[in-house]
Structure 1
Amino acid sequence: MSYKIIVDSCGELTKEMKESEVFETASLSIDIDGHHIVDDESFDQKEFLKIVAESPNCPKSSCPSPEAYMEGYHCEAERVYAVTLSAELSGSYNSAVLGKNLYHEEYGEKDIYVFNSRSASVGETLIALKIEECEKKNLSFHEVVRQVEEYIEEQNTYFVLETLETLRKNGRLTGLKAIVATALNIKPVMGATPQGVICQLGQARGIKKALVKMVDEVVKDVKRPEEKTLAISHCNCLERAEAVKRMILEKISPKKVIILDTAGISSMYAADGGIIVVV
């Protein structure tokens, strides 16, 4: 049976995923100072970061419409899966579910399932790859869904950013105590709760110490690392991502490591210099 995996554009795709006919991106968009930027193959990270750096305003994102998801589901594939960024952080999940309902009304029955990643960025990447792995084992549709949902339950997301301003101004830090120590160069170590809500795990003075603390959190939480893929995304800071990779590999031995540059939405929230780790 044929299948298709739609990943909203907060999730980065590897080169192999882009070349495969299995994966498709549902593009979010970004607006800032009259610039409307579609988060697709045309996204220029350096130009985007330049616009953000020169602007006093905060960029805003928009999720794909339910109709866009519906059209994505309308294909020859017999089974379609969608992976969206955390429903607590974006309307993309609800839009994908509405698109599924619209599809059933318009075209009838079909096996479609929408996964709430409860993560973002490379967290979505890993979930999409897990779906592909399950499909290659010729599992039933319901068994794929069950195994991938179990995988999501075990997945952990961590990040250290140079600034949390975009997250704060877009209301993504609701419920967190205010972080006011910017003048002291205090960098929070952030993560996601099991429900996909952003939380603070710790903090350190300076980005290097914060990254070390993040690595400690990764190592402390991971279960059966030898079975896991470690994924790192970075916003315009490959050397920093490589350093994080080395620190983690000194302590655990994952099955595989993926390092990707952030796409548009992840670049918007991670900001220049941000690092995201998912395992």
Structure 2
Amino acid sequence: MRDYVIVSDATLDLPYSIIKEYGIKVIPMGIVIDDVAYNYHPDEIELTIDDFYKRLKEGANSHTTQITPILFMEYFKKLLNEGLDIIYIGFSSGLSGTYSAAKLIEKELTEEYPESKIYCIDSKCASIGEGLLVYHAALQKKKGLTIDELKTWVEENKYNSRHWFTVSDLFYLKRGGRVTSFEAVVGTALRIRPVLSTDEDGKLTVVSKIRGTKAEMEFLISKMMKEGIELSEQTIIIGHGDNLNQAKELESQIRSKNIVKDVIISQIGPIIGTHTGPGMLALVYMGKKGDL
């Protein structure tokens, strides 16, 4: 039986230590900062997360680019030529055309390599919501699931990756068309932090608006308490965009309740950070979908 690898993209925002430990392959993604182009890799070889946020707070302009079909072709072919099958878990199709590009190459390479298996799956998730799904897929692979069994598992569980996040500066969301200019001005003046997630189509949606960091963390924890599945057996992830102090406070509050197995804090990388800005806070866990 051929071995296989789990592949994702640089929006997954998992700590590099986890990516390395489980042999997850991550395709880099492009970002342009003040007209200078970089490829963002999880090991931060070209661009560090800290430097990215420093430059963003200094007023730098940034925008991201999706993975091209050519890059998918080159990346997948290299793995196939090493005798590996591929299961790619990608950034939500509701937020990017990256997944569609991967599907085009899946079809082409399946014909060119008929003895190989190439499965591309739409995570319907963003950032560490996608990362959490990839992490759990890696855990399932470690248990011995075949590539076909894992494909079925991911499709059946992708909506169970529950992810909620807040932002402190609405102007980054305004630039991406997620809120109006009026909402950005009023929300920033009133210190309102929207809570966002993705819907069933994988599109970003504002599910609540909260004032104050205390209420924000209470909302995130209450969601986890209501939706979480077997939390005592789970390692949950807190993500932050240059917001470590608040992430540590959220971790402390969760640990004090003694309801989860472990907590990982992860930085939100430049690909997602371009659209959410400094101050983002996220909480992700496996659970059953409730009302948005």
- Structure 1 residue aligned with 2:74: 71
Which residue identity does 2:5 align to in structure 1?
Answer: K
User: 2-side partners of 1:133 and 1:218: how far apart?
Assistant: 21
User: 1-side partners of 2:32 and 2:124: how far apart?
Assistant: 24
- Structure 2 residue aligned with 1:8: 9
Deviation for aligned residue 1:88: 0.6
- Structure 2 residue aligned with 1:60: 63
Gapped runs of 5+ residues in structure 2?
Answer: 286-292
Cα gap change, 1:104/1:98 in structure 2, threshold over 3 Å: closer, same or farther?
Answer: same
Cα gap change, 1:174/1:92 in structure 2, threshold over 3 Å: closer, same or farther?
Answer: farther
Pairs within 5 Å for 1:196-211: 196-211=202-217
User: 2-side partners of 1:129 and 1:56: how far apart?
Assistant: 32
- Could you tell me which of 254, 261, 269 is aligned with 2:260? 254
User: 2-side partners of 1:225 and 1:128: how far apart?
Assistant: 18
Cα gap change, 1:238/1:73 in structure 2, threshold over 3 Å: closer, same or farther?
Answer: same
- Structure 2 residue aligned with 1:275: 281
- Could you tell me which of 46, 52, 61 is aligned with 1:48? 52
> Is 1:235 aligned to 2:271, yes or no?
no
Say if 1:8 and 1:92, in contact at 8 Å, map to a contact too: no
Equivalences, count: 276
Gapped runs of 5+ residues in structure 1?
Answer: none
Cα gap change, 1:181/1:166 in structure 2, threshold over 3 Å: closer, same or farther?
Answer: closer
- Structure 1 residue aligned with 2:33: 32
Cα gap change, 1:195/1:247 in structure 2, threshold over 3 Å: closer, same or farther?
Answer: farther
Deviation for aligned residue 1:81: 1.3
Which residue identity does 1:54 align to in structure 2?
Answer: E
Say if 1:162 and 1:274, in contact at 8 Å, map to a contact too: yes
Structure 1 length as normaliser, TM-score? Answer: 0.88
User: 2-side partners of 1:21 and 1:144: how far apart?
Assistant: 15
Which residue identity does 1:69 align to in structure 2?
Answer: F
User: 2-side partners of 1:240 and 1:197: how far apart?
Assistant: 26
- Could you tell me which of 104, 107, 110 is aligned with 1:101? 107
User: 2-side partners of 1:220 and 1:261: how far apart?
Assistant: 25
User: 2-side partners of 1:238 and 1:49: how far apart?
Assistant: 12
Deviation for aligned residue 1:116: 1.5
Say if 1:202 and 1:213, in contact at 8 Å, map to a contact too: no
- Structure 2 residue aligned with 1:161: 167
Aligned to 2:164, what secondary structure does the other structure show? strand
Say if 2:3 and 2:85, in contact at 8 Å, map to a contact too: yes
Deviation for aligned residue 1:178: 4.2
User: 2-side partners of 1:242 and 1:56: how far apart?
Assistant: 27
Cα gap change, 1:250/1:135 in structure 2, threshold over 3 Å: closer, same or farther?
Answer: same
Cα gap change, 1:78/1:222 in structure 2, threshold over 3 Å: closer, same or farther?
Answer: same
- Structure 1 residue aligned with 2:20: 19
- CA distances 1:153-190 after superposition (whole Å, capped 9, x unpaired): 2121100111232233223x279x94533211111122
User: 1-side partners of 2:90 and 2:179: how far apart?
Assistant: 20
- Structure 1 residue aligned with 2:269: 263
Identity %: 26
Aligned to 2:202, what secondary structure does the other structure show? coil
Cα gap change, 1:174/1:209 in structure 2, threshold over 3 Å: closer, same or farther?
Answer: closer
- CA distances 1:93-125 after superposition (whole Å, capped 9, x unpaired): 112212212322444442111222221222222
Say if 2:133 and 2:161, in contact at 8 Å, map to a contact too: no
Which residue identity does 2:251 align to in structure 1?
Answer: K
Which residue identity does 2:24 align to in structure 1?
Answer: F
